[in-house]
Structure 1
Amino acid sequence: MAQSVFFDASVLVAASKSPSGGSAVSLELCQGRRFRMVVTERVLLEARTNIEEKFGDEELVRFYRRLADAKPRVIGPPSRESVAVCDHVTAPKDVHVLAAAVECKAAYLLTLDRKHLLTPKVLRVGFPFRTMTPGEFLQAAVAERSEE
């Protein structure tokens, strides 16, 4: 069974801008049997809005193509219980990301948000998933593969 990988909007935005970067390669890796991309509608909307505001049509088309290729599992908003567990850990605007990763039983949470999600406080909590950058995820996937 594929491991769930929850994607933060920052990774989707980066993948739309840089087709050969770590974010884009992470999306491609989640099209296989080992990993499955998971997002919420809110994450998709946030990514689309950021791409529309910061980039052009080319990046927006790339965003939609990558989503179509990845066939992500789109989950609903996290429960109040999950939000309550996470609300003391990060900024209010990012609590939904942590809570959704908990709810979907993610093995990994991928983000480029060093200010709110890749912080010592978040990393110390002991969530049941590993929070990391796409580059770290790719390294972990290679290391995991070599151990098999």
Structure 2
Amino acid sequence: MRRVLSTAEGLGRPAPAAEPAPIAPGPVFRTEFPFVLPRGYVDDRGTVHRTGSMRLATARDELVPLRDDRVRENPPYLSVVLLARVITRLGTITDIHAGLVEDLFASDLAFLQDLYRRVNAEGHTRAEATCPSCGHEFAVDLSGGRVGES
């Protein structure tokens, strides 16, 4: 035997679904990391570009350069091709290519290689430091901003 309940508000309609509880916001997943180069890229007009942005690398970003003839002939060139794929902006320049990365000062290239390693292997640009005078431990951001800048 089947019992049917009838009420004025629910005739023939399913009970309303309960609203899901709002999800508390967690830490934001960053995919782009701003940076400031130690020296800066100097373009054809003499403009110095120091600020930029690097995105997280994908598996494709790391695999495709391995098929590049320039990398096959000269394995250290891998970092140039890889950085050209993940740097999204350098100053006002958005067309980042291997030739541009080749023209960076060596100190800027080393900085970007280290930043790439930090954001893709460690997921952040922070490092722990200890004051040599007082022994206080603190975190520093290695993305290249000047002291006092945010």
Normalising by structure 2, we get a TM-score of 0.25
Higher helix share: 1
- TM-score, normalised with respect to structure 1: 0.25
Higher strand content, 1 or 2: 2
Structure of higher CA gyration radius: 2
